[in-house]
């Protein structure tokens, strides 16, 4: 996955993501594609969650999956999550759960609760940073004010080295793939470098929904695991998604 | 660009989405949070039932590939439903509604929804 939040010169925040999933879950030799990735694509839906006939939040989901991976609380905040690998992983959390130790939260139920109940960027940030989890994760959160965006790197129990937008210091976007931002990504799977190269080449002056979509359409940021691309603008309350394909030659991940 | 990782020059003018990297648009649905949890996803699941069954079957085929005896699949269908009421409300009720609307066994719906934690294995 690749998630990013960028601030344009007028202080608008753009939050976008490629959702990549299905690694090692079966390769279709004939079609040069991942089996599960291709099965997930037809399940992608955009959902408007309403209460009292008013939108509470909107999301891009896989039908049948009640948790949230990508969502917007219109005019308040935007949220995506990327997978994080750690030896202290989800299987330990699941084992604890089975053995009756149930003080952690299932990742996607937490993101669903945040989108459904939090009413501000700060509240969402606190919940995503402090709640104990069953599995490690990256939460990429955008607010509705200039400078409000961060990457929350979570272990099961802690938030590690939060990275915030800092436009004055020249950090006008934050970008997360699936590696801790203070470490180099695995050289076999470096999607961070090409994505940052294209963001820097775009420059803040030209950043927009369109040019962010260009970045997420550039291989290997776009790869055989990419199921959908979602673009969100909190100031307009807007979410749009597109199901992707990656024509050969294309990286398997 | 023609050797792994096939890094391209930065793409431009890709928006609005079209061409070989754009497979299709995404359909919008409404979920009414005032409805009972077990009814919320019925419209979506009714539309996407075949695709959901097909995706779950692909995961089962994978499970069988790892454990040809079928024991893993049996475990999913027998053990996971026993944990449904340990999962937080209203998500447990929503999963029950999805199983009912799709005909997919509850254990397999649960597996799909906790796949993130399981997959870290």
Mean pLDDT of A124-148: 97
Inter-chain touch B14–A213, beta carbons under 8 Å: yes
Is A196 or B76 the better-scoring residue by pLDDT?
A196
Beta bridge partners of B80: none
Cβ neighbours of A200 (radius 10 Å): 12
Give residues with Cβ within 8 angstroms of B50, minimum separation 6.
none
Mean pLDDT of A66-72: 98
Q: What is the ipTM of this complex?
A: 0.95
Give residues with Cβ within 8 angstroms of A234, minimum separation 6.
A13, A15, A72, A74, A75, A76, A77, A78, A142, A143, A144
Give residues with Cβ within 8 angstroms of B3, minimum separation 6.
none
Give the tens place of pLDDT for each residue, A26-54.
899 999 999 999 999 999 999 999 999 99
Mean pLDDT of A194-200: 97
Cβ neighbours of A56 in B, within 8 Å: 33
CB-based contact A125:A141 (threshold 8 Å): yes
| CA–CA gap between residue A15 and residue A147 (Å, rounded) | 13
Cβ neighbours of A209 in B, within 8 Å: 15
| A158 touches B at CB < 8 Å | no
Cite the active site residues of A: 1
């Amino acid at each position: 996955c690749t998630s990013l939040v960028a601030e344009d010169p007028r202080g608008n925040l753009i939050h976008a993501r490629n959702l990549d999933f299905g690694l090692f879950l079966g390769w279709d030799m004939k079609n040069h594609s991942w089996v599960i990735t291709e099965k997930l694509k037809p399940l992608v839906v955009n959902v408007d969650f309403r209460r009292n006939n008013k939108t509470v939040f909107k999301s891009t989901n896989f039908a049948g999956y009640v948790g949230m991976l990508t969502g917007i609380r219109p005019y308040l905040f935007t949220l995506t999550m990327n997978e994080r690998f750690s030896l202290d992983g989800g299987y330990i959390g699941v084992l604890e759960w089975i053995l009756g130790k149930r003080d952690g939260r299932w990742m996607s139920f937490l993101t669903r609760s945040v989108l459904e109940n939090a009413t501000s960027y700060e509240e969402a940030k606190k919940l995503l940073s402090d709640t104990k989890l069953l599995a490690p994760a990256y939460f990429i959160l955008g607010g509705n004010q200039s400078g409000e965006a961060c990457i929350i790197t979570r272990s099961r129990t802690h938030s590690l080295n939060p990275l915030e937008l800092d436009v004055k210091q020249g950090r006008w976007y934050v970008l997360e793939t699936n590696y801790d931002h203070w470490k180099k990504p695995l050289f076999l799977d470096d999607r961070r470098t090409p994505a940052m190269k294209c963001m820097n080449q775009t420059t803040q002056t030209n950043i927009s929904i369109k040019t962010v979509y260009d970045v997420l359409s550039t291989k290997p940021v776009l790869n055989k695991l990419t199921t959908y691309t979602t673009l969100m603008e909190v100031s307009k309350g807007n979410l749009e998604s597109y199901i992707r394909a990656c024509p050969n030659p294309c990286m398997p991940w | 660009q023609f050797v792994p990782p096939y890094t391209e020059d930065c793409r431009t003018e890709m928006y609005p989405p079209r061409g070989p990297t754009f497979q299709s648009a995404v359909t919008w649905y409404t979920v009414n949070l005032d409805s009972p949890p077990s009814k919320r996803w019925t419209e979506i699941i009714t539309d996407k039932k075949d695709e959901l069954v097909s995706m779950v079957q692909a995961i089962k085929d994978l499970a069988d590939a790892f454990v040809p005896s079928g024991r893993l699949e049996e475990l999913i269908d027998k053990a996971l439903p026993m944990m449904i009421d340990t999962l937080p409300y209203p998500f447990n009720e929503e999963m029950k509604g999805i199983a009912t609307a799709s005909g997919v066994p509850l254990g397999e719906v649960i597996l799909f929804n906790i796949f993130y934690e399981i997959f870290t294995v």
